[in-house]
Structure 1
Amino acid sequence: MESLHWADTTAKRVIKKRENLEKYVVACGITPSGHIHIGNAREVITADAIYRGLLNQGVKGELIFIGDTYDPLRKVYPFLPESYERYVGMPLSEIPCPEGCCESYAQHFLRPFLESLDDLGIEMTIYYADRCYKEGIYDEAIILALENRNKIREILNKYRSDPLPEDWYPLTVICENCGKLSTTKVIDYDQEEKTVEYLCSCGHRNTVEPFKGRVKLPWRVDWPARWSIFEVTVEPMGKDHGTSGGSYDTGIKITREVYNYQPPEKVIYEWIQLKVGEKAVPMSSSSGVVFAVKDWLNICHPEVLRYLILRSKPSKHIDFDLKSIPNLTEDYDQLERNYFELIKRLENGEELKEDEKDKIRIYQLSTPRIPEKLPLQVPYRFCAVISQIAYREDREEIDMEKVLDILKRNNYPVDNIDDYDFERLKNRLYMARNWALKYGEVLNIIPLEEAIKEYNKLSEKQKEWINVFRDKLKDIEFQGLLIHELIYSTAKEIGLNPREAFLASYRILLGKNYGPKLGSFLSSLDREFVIRRYSLLE
Structure 2
Amino acid sequence: MYWADDFAQQIIKSGKHQPYWADDMKTPSGRIHVGSLRGIISHDLIYKALLDAGKSATLSYVIENQDPMDGLPIYLDKKKYQQYMGQPLWSIPSPKSGYKSYADYFAQDFIEIVNALGAKPKIIYGLDLYRSGKMNQGIKQVLDAASKIRQLYKKISGSAKPADWYPLQVICPKCGKIGTTKVTGWDGEKVSFKCLPALVKWAQGCGHEGKISPFNGNGKVPWKIEWALKWQAVGITIEGAGKDHMTEGGSHDIASAICRQVINYPVPFHFSHEFLLIGGRKMSSSRGLGSSAREMYNLLPPAILRFLLVRPRYNRAIDFDPGSYTIPDLFDTYDHCAVEFYRYGRKSDLGRIFELSQVKKPPPKKTFYPRFREVAQYLQMPKVNLTQHFETEKGKSLTITEKKILAERVHYAEIWLRDHAPKEEVFSVSQTLSQAVAELNQKQKDYLLKVAQLLAKDWSKPEEFQQALYDASKSLDLPAQKAFTAIYIVLLGKTHGPKAAWLLLDQDRKAMIQRLKKVAGGKKFDVLAETRALRKELSRLNPNFDSVKALREVRKEI
What is the TM-score of this pair, normalised by structure 1? 0.86
Q: Is the 8 A contact 2:375 2:386 kept in 1?
A: no
- Return the letter of the residue paired with 1:371: P
How far off its partner does 1:154 sit?
1.9
Counterparts of 1:533 and 1:107, CA distance in 2: 61
Which one of 420, 424, 429 corresponds to residue 401 of structure 2?
420
Aligned letter for 1:41? L
Q: Give, in angstroms, the shift of residue 513 of structure 1.
A: 2.3
State the one-letter code of the partner of 2:401.
Y
User: Aligned runs of 1:336-375 on 2, under 5 Å?
Assistant: 336-343=338-345, 356-367=347-358, 368-375=360-367
1:48 maps to what in 2? 44
Shift in Å, 1:203: 0.9
| 1:300/1:432 contact within 8 Å kept | no
Q: Which of 213, 230, 235 is the aligned partner of 1:209? A: 213
Does the 8 Å CA contact 1:455/1:463 hold for their aligned counterparts? no
Give 1:229's aligned residue: 233
TM-superposed CA distance for 1:37, in Å, is: 2.9
The equivalences for 1:184-195 within 5 A come to: 184-191=181-188, 194-195=189-190
Offset at residue 43 of structure 1 (A): 0.7
* CA deviations over 1:102-129 (Å, ceiling 9, x no partner): 4322233222221123331112101111
SS at match of 1:65: strand
Report the secondary structure of 1:187's partner residue.
strand
Residues 26, 47 of structure 1: 8 Å contact kept: yes
Deviation string 1:386-411 (CA, Å, 9 cap, x unpaired) is: 33445xxxxxxxx9x94324445x53
Q: Secondary structure at the match of 2:156?
A: coil
**Please, which runs of 5 or more residues in structure 1 have no aligned partner?**
347-355, 391-398
Q: Which residue of 2 aligns with 1:300?
A: 300
1:502 paired with 2:504, answer no
Check the 8 A contact 2:340/2:348 in 1, yes or no: no
Secondary structure class of the residue paired with 2:172: coil
Alignment CA distance shift 1:101-1:411 (3 Å): same
Contact 1:480–1:522 under 8 Å retained in 2: no
Aligned partners of 1:17, 1:171: CA distance in 2, in Å? 35
2:278–2:320 CA contact under 8 A, matched in 1: yes
Structure 2 Cα separation of the partners of residues 137 and 254 of structure 1? 17
Give the C-alpha shift of residue 441 in structure 1.
4.3
User: For the Cα contact (< 8 Å) 2:29–2:103, is it kept in 1?
Assistant: yes
Q: For residues 412 and 26 of structure 1, what CA distance do their matches in structure 2 show?
A: 42
Selected match of 1:183 from 168, 172, 180: 180
Q: CA deviation at 1:373?
A: 1.4
**How has the CA–CA distance of structure 1 residues 135 and 534 changed in structure 2, closer, same or farther, with 3 Å as cutoff?**
farther
**2:370 alignment partner, SS class:** coil
Q: Which moved more, 1:52-61 or 1:216-225?
A: 52-61
Partner of 1:313: 313
Question: In structure 1, what is the equivalent of residue 15 of structure 2?
Answer: 18
| Most deviating of 295-304 and 199-208 | 295-304
Given that 2:169 and 2:220 are in contact with CA atoms closer than 8 Å, whether structure 1 keeps it comes out as yes
Find the aligned partners of 2:26 and 2:435 in 1 and give their Cα distance. 56
Q: CA deviation at 1:8?
A: 1.0
Aligned runs of 1:125-524 on 2, under 5 Å? 125-191=122-188, 194-201=189-196, 202-275=206-279, 280-322=280-322, 323=324, 324-343=326-345, 356-367=347-358, 368-390=360-382, 402-408=385-391, 411-413=393-395, 416-441=397-422, 443-448=426-431, 450-451=432-433, 455-456=437-438, 458-475=440-457, 477-522=459-504
SS at match of 1:206: strand
1:377 counterpart letter in structure 2: Y
Q: CA deviation at 1:438?
A: 0.6
- Counterpart contact for 2:380–2:428, Cα < 8 Å: no
Is the CA contact (8 Å cut-off) linking 2:430 and 2:493 kept in structure 1? no
Could you tell me how far 1:502 is from its partner in structure 2?
A: 2.2
Provide the secondary structure at the position in 2 that maps to 1:198. strand
CA distance in 2, matches of 1:103, 1:529: 62
Structure 2, unmatched stretches of 5+, are: 197-205, 518-533, 539-558
Per-residue CA deviation, residues 52-80 of structure 1 (Å, 9 max, x unaligned), is 12122222110111111222222223333
| Separation of aligned partners in 1, 2:420 and 2:107 | 26
Q: 1:131 to 1:509 in 2, by over 3 A?
A: farther
Tell me how far 1:525 sits from its aligned partner: 5.8
Spell out, residue by residue over 1:188-247, the C-alpha distance to the aligned partner (whole angstroms, 9 max, x if none): 2221xx222211022112322223322111101110001111111111201111111111
TM-score by length of 2: 0.84
Count matched residues.
505
Once the 2 structures are TM-superposed, how far is the Cα of residue 93 of structure 1 from its aligned partner?
2.1
CA distance in 1, matches of 2:23, 2:506: 49
CA distance, structure 1, for counterparts of residue 106 and residue 173 of structure 2: 26
Q: After superposition, what is the alpha-carbon deviation per residue over 1:477-512, rounded to whole angstroms, capped at 9, x for unaligned?
A: 354433332332222223333222222222233322
Q: Could you say if the C-alpha distance between residues 475 and 256 of structure 1 is closer, same or farther in structure 2, counting changes exceeding 3 Å?
A: same
Instruction: Write the distance in 2 (CA, Å) between the matches of 1:369 and 1:526.
Output: 45
Q: Distance in 2 between matches of 1:134 and 1:482?
A: 72
Which residue identity lines up with residue 291 of structure 1 in the other structure?
S
Distance 1:478 1:116 in 2: 45
Letter aligned with residue 305 of structure 2: L
Identity %, equivalent residues: 31
